[in-house]
Amino acid sequence: MKQILLIAMISLMIFSCKPDNKSKLEKLKKQQSELADQIKALEKVIAIENGKDSGKIAIVAVNEIKAAEFKHYLEVQGKIDGDQNVAVSPKMLGVITSIDVKEGDVVRTGQVLAHIDDAVLMQSLAALDTSLAFYTNLYYKQKRLWDQKIGSEVQYLSAKNNMESYQNLIKTTKEQLAMAKIVSPIDGTIEDIPIKVGQTVSPGVTTAFRVVNLSKIKVMADIAEAYSAKVKTGNTVQISFPDLDKEITSKVSFASKFINTTNRTFSVEVKLDNTGEEYRANMIAVVKINDYSADSAIIVPVNVIQKMNGANYVYIAVQGKTNSYSAKKVEVKLGQTYNGFTEILGGLKEGDKLITVGYQNLEDGQLLKF
């Protein structure tokens, strides 16, 4: 009814207007169009509220977008190792005659852990000592004669050479005897003794003991080659230990420059203190390395992002002239994704009302109810 009266009034004004009233006529026509749109929108809202047109409105929930810090982490599985974890090997071939420690013993640098059969070397040393005594006595006799200008210089030098040769032989034999003792190269704890008394051991082949010092530990992990440009020494890292229900923050202390040709990975290490001795060698550690950060980023849940024809888009709620809200389809440019959230590099701004519930079957311009 109101619309008919408005049209009648405008018609009367048209017939009575003068040429200089044309601008007023155009203005009234514009107002008529705006009023018609508002009437149409209100009719839809009233119909929805009365339950007569419920299929044309979408029930949604929205979140106002606010800029926040965003961090992306590369997550891999690693393990704990002692900063000093040594497999002790014998230095000479022989048969084990005694093992002087047991697993769990705390040892010091240079402490004897086991003995290798040295009976032959001991016999050789005894024979060399006897020969050295003889040649030493002969040398001093020859020296006294030479000092008195008796005898030849050749006899004197020959006696001196024989004595010094046996001295060197004894020195070498004693060094070999020292090698018959397997000693600890570090302070630590005996973690494994894979040898037995009577077993023949070989240098560089047999592992006699494993000595580990866990006062300082390191978490080791292998990273795929694709991340070599992002993961560097000094990167922030979060390490969680599932068996301890514990998480700590540290920094990458070493990032290898060598790519393993077998699995195309490189290794990283994070050094940690173990003063409380709660960590154990080979314990599983989940390593999360921060390879990207943004101080002020637009972040949205991954699930609200839809894709069509190669384009990514979301829906936001926009307010109309009648204070009602409608859905607007917005194409977005995606950045990094982590832990269920994606950084938006373009398309959204702070203050936009992102539709987070009920977005699946929306249409662009569809009326909304929160």
pLDDT by residue (tens digit) across 339-354? Answer: 899 999 999 999 999 9
Q: CATH topology for 88-201?
A: OB fold (Dihydrolipoamide Acetyltransferase, E2P) (2.40.50)
**Residue 264's pLDDT is what?**
94
pTM confidence score = 0.56
**Residue 19's pLDDT is what?**
52
Contact assessment for residue 324 and residue 365, using Cβ atoms and an 8 Å cutoff: no
Q: CATH topology for 74-83+208-291?
A: Elongation Factor Tu (Ef-tu); domain 3 (2.40.30)
- Using DSSP's 3-state secondary structure scheme, residue 140 falls into helix
Q: CATH topology for 54-70+295-369?
A: 2.40.420
Contact assessment for residue 143 and residue 156, using Cβ atoms and an 8 Å cutoff: yes
- Cα dihedral angle (12, 15, 16, 19), rounded to 10 degrees? 130
**Residue 17's pLDDT is what?**
47
Cβ atoms within 10 Å, residue 82: 24
Exposure letters 157-179 (e unless 16+ CB within 10 A, then b): eebbebbeebeebbeebeebbeb
Residue 226 DSSP symbol? G
* Secondary-structure percent of the chain, ordered helix, strand, coil, rounded to 5: 30, 40, 30
Q: Give dist(CA 50, CA 39) in Å, integer.
A: 16
**Residue 85's pLDDT is what?**
85
Residue of 231, 246, 341, 259 lying closest to 297 (CA atoms): 341
* pLDDT lower than 70: segments of the chain: 1-20, 37, 40-55, 276
The full set of domain ranges for the chain reads: 2-49, 54-70+295-369, 74-83+208-291, 88-201
**Residue 279's pLDDT is what?**
84
**Residue 48's pLDDT is what?**
54
Residues 6+ apart with CB under 8 A from 13: 21, 24, 25, 28
Structure tokens at 78: 């690693």
| Residue type at position 23 | S
Q: Give dist(CA 46, CA 182) in Å, integer.
A: 93
Q: Give dist(CA 182, CA 199) in Å, integer.
A: 14
Residue of 234, 228, 229, 194 lying closest to 211 (CA atoms): 194
Q: What DSSP string runs through 11-66?
A: HHHHHH--GGGHHHHHHHHHHHHHHHHHHHHHHHHHHHHTTSSGGGEEE-EEEE--
- Using DSSP's 3-state secondary structure scheme, residue 2 falls into helix
